[in-house]
Amino acid sequence: MANSTTEKTKAAAAEPISMMSVLAPAIGWLIPGAGHMIQKRWIRGGLLFVSIVTLFLLGLAMQGRIYHANGGDILDMLGFVGDVGSGALYIVTLAMDWGQGAIQFATADYGTKFIIVAGLLNFIAVADAYHIAIGKKQ
Amino acid sequence: MRITLPLGRNNDPVSGSQYSVLSHSRLGETRIVTITLNHFGAATVFALFASIVFGITHRDTTRDMVRYGLYCFVMFLGGVFVAGWAMWLLRR
């Protein structure tokens, strides 16, 4: 079993890095679902796009808060890691100064979690796009 | 355009749980858009979209994706009900 694992590792290491294996995760991070779409997985990409973007926008509309890189607190930094997974959505939100949060709303905290989870789900989608690009998944 | 606090009839922040989309716009003022969901509504929306992503990314064939997505959705909502009843029992 150890031998087969070693062989697999060697085979993976020997595999050349293709253009798609770099492009798909990068595009997929920037625009949720786009990493699947450029590999002609239109329905999967569309569903991922709708799911992640809707979750992010709902979070914003629920007065959720956007975390910044220099939050100072370790939990804020973790929140930033989650948020930044949304790619362009996060960049645009930051540029437009949205997502300031509103503690007057009980549901604003749900919104903050929606935004973080949207980013984390996009990270999973990016990993999936990479696996498709390298042929590990159909 | 800037998303800011929604205001109620007396310019007080809107409170309480409701399924509504409030859109408030005045001349020269920012457009205010907010959505207020109760806990179950938020959990259902979360479960729906997270299940779709899990289904697509964790399985290979279309049939398995649908089955796993449904399984995740049921487990998410089941977890909500179990946690809800557990908290109800702890409170008594």
ipTM for the assembly = 0.85
User: What's the CA dihedral at A48, B18, A100, A123 to 10 degrees?
Assistant: -20
Q: Judge whether residue A62 has pLDDT over 50.
A: yes
B58 and B23 belong to one structural domain: no
Using pLDDT thresholds of 50, 70 and 90, give the confidence band for residue A21. very high
Q: How far is CA B33 from CA A98, B2, B55, in A?
A: 12, 9, 31
- Residue-averaged pLDDT of chain B: 78
With a cut of 90, say whether residue B10 has pLDDT above it: no
Identify which of B57, B73, B8, B80 has the alpha carbon closest to the alpha carbon of residue A129.
B57
- Cβ contact (<8 Å) for A63 and B34? yes
Give the confidence band of A7 by pLDDT, cuts at 50, 70, 90: low
Q: For residue A51, what are its two tokens?
A: 């799911």
Give the Cβ contact number of residue A33 at 10 Å.
Answer: 26
Domain that residue B48 falls in: 40-91
Q: Where does the pLDDT of residue B14 fall: very low under 50, low under 70, confident under 90, or very high at 90 and above?
A: very low
Encode chain B in three state secondary structure.
CCCCCCECCCCCECCCCCCEEEEECCCCCCCEEEEECCHHHHHHHHHHHHHHHHHHHHCCCHHHHHHHHHHHHHHHHHHHHHHHHHHHHHHC
Would you state the pLDDT for residue B74? Answer: 98
According to DSSP, residue B60 is labeled S
Mean pLDDT, rounded, for B6-30:
45
Residue B61 DSSP class: S
Same domain, B52 and B78: yes
Contact B2, A98 (CB under 8 A): yes
Check whether residue B18 and residue B48 sit in a common domain: no
Q: What percent of chain A has pLDDT over 90?
A: 67
Q: Could you give the number of structural domains in chain B?
A: 2
Contact A104 B13 (CB under 8 A): yes
Q: What is the mean pLDDT of residues A13-38?
A: 90
Whether residues B80 and B50 share a domain: the answer is yes
Least confident of A9-23, A24-38, A112-126, B4-18: B4-18
Q: Please give the pLDDT value at position B75.
A: 98
Q: Which residue of B has its CA nearest to A63?
A: B34
A136 to chain B, any CB pair closer than 8 A? The answer is no
Give me the residue from B2, B15, B37 closest to A97, CB to CB.
B2
Same-domain check for residues B86 and B44: yes
Between A and B, how many residue pairs show a Cβ–Cβ distance under 8 A?
81
| Cβ contacts of A34 within 8 Å, gap of 6 or more | A27, A28, A45, A49
Instruction: Verify that B77 and B46 share a domain, yes or no.
Output: yes
Residues A22-49 have a mean pLDDT of: 97
Percent of chain B scored above 90 by pLDDT?
57
For A112, the closest chain B residue by CA position comes to B42
The domain locations on chain A are: 19-133
Q: How many other CB atoms sit within 10 Å of the CB of residue A8?
A: 10
Mean pLDDT of A57-62: 93
Same-domain status, B30 and B47: no
Residues B84 and B44 in one domain: yes
Residue B29's pLDDT is: 54
